[in-house]
Chain A
Amino acid sequence: MSIRHGLLALLERGQMYGYQLRAAFEESTGSTWPLNIGQVYTTLSRLERDGLVRSLPESEAGQRPYEITDAGRADLTLWFATPISRTDRPRDELAIKLALALTTPGVDVRSVVQTQRSATMRTLQELTRLKYASDRPEDLPWRLVLDAMVFQAEAEVRWLDHCETSLVRYRPPAGGPAAAPGAVDRTDEEARR
């Protein structure tokens, strides 16, 4: 996702100037993606350079509205039609952190897992609270954005659960660098409810 396509989608609704675009962007992402006005103008000038938007004459109040061009409309349509690729996303810092924790001496991996899970649960609670507070029909676009974040956070917690289960069975190779995670000597019998 880029701010570029976000702004193009907003301009498809009608011409807008910078501050309006910023406000509309934040509204449609529920302020989860704050933009500063500089980012908006930088993006607009690149879009104009690429022929995807054009700037209109300044108003009396000194505001310069922008409108989407046909090329911009085509670009936007292509964006909506193209699935997002996982490889477009930044590398998963959390996965790398856990992999390193496992092979770094003296790191309590289960505690790293729990700290992350607690933080992600907290995020989930906040997202759910926001959803609960947004139950008008016109809130649907916003609720779907929230749902996407909810499912991502849920996937992270599930992965952390999976990591923890794997850690219980994990024995570092003899002479290996990793410290044994805690409580690995419990039997399945003990763990049963």
Chain B
Amino acid sequence: MSVDGGAHGPGQPAEGAVLDLRDVHRTHGTGPAAVHALRGVSLSVRPGELVAVMGPSGSGKSTLLALAGGLDSPTAGEVRVEGQPLGELDRRRLAQLRRRRIGYIFQDLNLLGSLTAVENVALPLELDGAGVRRARRLAAEALAEVGLPELGDRFPDQLSGGQQQRVAIARALVGERRLVLADEPTGALDSQTGEAVLHLLRRRVDAGAAGVLVTHEARHAGWADRVVFLRDGVLVDTTAPLVGVEQLLSGSGR
């Protein structure tokens, strides 16, 4: 089966890609008990592009996302974010890159119950040394972006599940995040609320970020420009990038 679109060979750098995985392997354990979570995956994601990663449980989806976000390191191969090989960064600089440039949206929201919505969103900026006033201003902007401009002073337990998820997304988008990584971001939300979450992700990507969405739900993967399929740690297939809506409507998009 051929793999076209954004997958590329190990030796060919992708110009302008925000995220670039090159022949990435990740093995847990050694010897006969070794588990090969990823076996030679190459993938690049450009600004303005949302890539969905699909595959059965255990196919390596979440491992791929952890490697892309610098939360885990490959056993072999290279991960680059904005051209910077993550393996060359020391822990401090890696942590800085994660706070400044990468946004994470997970099923577990991890909002701090003792902080208000705006304080939760401002937290990564404040940890990064931003002044409180600037951090709060950017946090308020991010809350407005996710449609919660007036709920900044509420605590998480005063918000609905969907509102909490929006706060978590605002935290992932706050500041100048160039790479947004989402792992089953709609969780247990109802279909309308889940759709709103994907709408927000799509909008940020349309504004120039690069996005990776791990999901087992085809309906959610439909929001992506490109869908890649993982099986047993190998990228087996990918859909071709989409053309514009105008061509779809005129029926020549296929």
Interface residues of A (CB under 8 A from B): 30-31, 34, 111, 114-115, 117-118, 120-122, 124-130, 132-133, 150-151, 153-154, 157-158, 161, 164-165, 183, 186, 189-193
A124-B218 contact given A111-B1, A190-B35, CB 8 Å threshold: yes
A129-B232 contact given A121-B218, A191-B58, CB 8 Å threshold: no
The distance in angstroms between the C-alpha atoms of A164 and B57, with both chains bound, is 12
Count, chain B residues at interface, CB 8 A: 39
What are the 10 closest A-B residue pairs judged by CB atoms, nearest first? Answer: A124-B222, A157-B218, A128-B222, A191-B58, A154-B219, A133-B245, A154-B218, A122-B239, A121-B227, A192-B58
The residue on B at minimum CB distance from A110 is B231
Task: Contact check, A121 vs B219: say whether CB atoms are below 8 A apart.
Answer: no
The residue on A at minimum CB distance from B221 is A121
Instruction: Give the residues in chain A near B239, CB-CB below 8 Å.
Output: 118, 121-122, 125
A114-B245 contact given A189-B35, A190-B36, A193-B60, CB 8 Å threshold: no
The residue on A at minimum CB distance from B33 is A189
The residue on B at minimum CB distance from A31 is B249
- Smallest beta-carbon distance B238→chain A, Å: 8
- Smallest beta-carbon distance A117→chain B, Å: 7
The distance in angstroms between the C-alpha atoms of A192 and B227, with both chains bound, is 22
Interface residues of B (CB under 8 A from A): 1, 35-37, 54, 56-63, 199, 202, 216-219, 221-225, 227, 229, 231-232, 236-240, 242, 245, 248-249, 251, 253
Instruction: Give the residues in chain B near A165, CB-CB below 8 Å.
Output: 56
The distance in angstroms between the C-alpha atoms of A120 and B229, with both chains bound, is 13
The residue on A at minimum CB distance from B244 is A129
A132-B199 contact given A118-B237, A126-B253, CB 8 Å threshold: yes
The distance in angstroms between the C-alpha atoms of A183 and B229, with both chains bound, is 16
The distance in angstroms between the C-alpha atoms of A81 and B62, with both chains bound, is 46
Partner of A186, one of B37, B54, B227, B232: B232
Task: Contact check, B232 vs A183: say whether CB atoms are below 8 A apart.
Answer: yes
Chain B CB within 10 Å, residue with most, of A111, A125, A153, A186: A125
A125-B242 contact given A154-B219, A192-B35, A193-B37, CB 8 Å threshold: yes
A161-B199 contact given A114-B1, A118-B237, A193-B63, CB 8 Å threshold: no
Task: Contact check, A31 vs B229: say whether CB atoms are below 8 A apart.
Answer: no
Task: Contact check, A150 vs B58: say whether CB atoms are below 8 A apart.
Answer: no
- Smallest beta-carbon distance A101→chain B, Å: 15
Task: Contact check, B248 vs A132: say whether CB atoms are below 8 A apart.
Answer: no
Instruction: Give the residues in chain A near B221, CB-CB below 8 Å.
Output: 121, 124-125
The distance in angstroms between the C-alpha atoms of A191 and B63, with both chains bound, is 12
Instruction: Give the residues in chain B near A126, CB-CB below 8 Å.
Output: 242, 248, 253
- Smallest beta-carbon distance B203→chain A, Å: 9
The distance in angstroms between the C-alpha atoms of A161 and B238, with both chains bound, is 16
Chain A CB within 10 Å, residue with most, of B1, B62, B219, B231: B219
A117-B229 contact given A193-B37, A193-B57, CB 8 Å threshold: yes
9 contacts between A and B (CB under 8 A): A121-B239, A124-B218, A125-B222, A129-B245, A154-B219, A190-B36, A190-B232, A192-B58, A193-B60
Instruction: Give the residues in chain B near A129, CB-CB below 8 Å.
Output: 242, 245, 248
Task: Contact check, B62 vs A114: say whether CB atoms are below 8 A apart.
Answer: no
Apart from A151-B219, A193-B62, 9 more pairs, CB < 8 Å = A114-B229, A114-B236, A122-B240, A132-B202, A133-B245, A150-B219, A153-B218, A153-B222, A154-B219
- Smallest beta-carbon distance A4→chain B, Å: 24
The distance in angstroms between the C-alpha atoms of A77 and B152, with both chains bound, is 50
Instruction: Give the residues in chain B near A151, CB-CB below 8 Å.
Output: 219
Instruction: Give the residues in chain B near A122, CB-CB below 8 Å.
Output: 227, 239-240
The residue on B at minimum CB distance from A188 is B58
Partner of B249, one of A111, A117, A130: A130
The residue on A at minimum CB distance from B242 is A125
Instruction: Give the residues in chain B near A133, CB-CB below 8 Å.
Output: 245
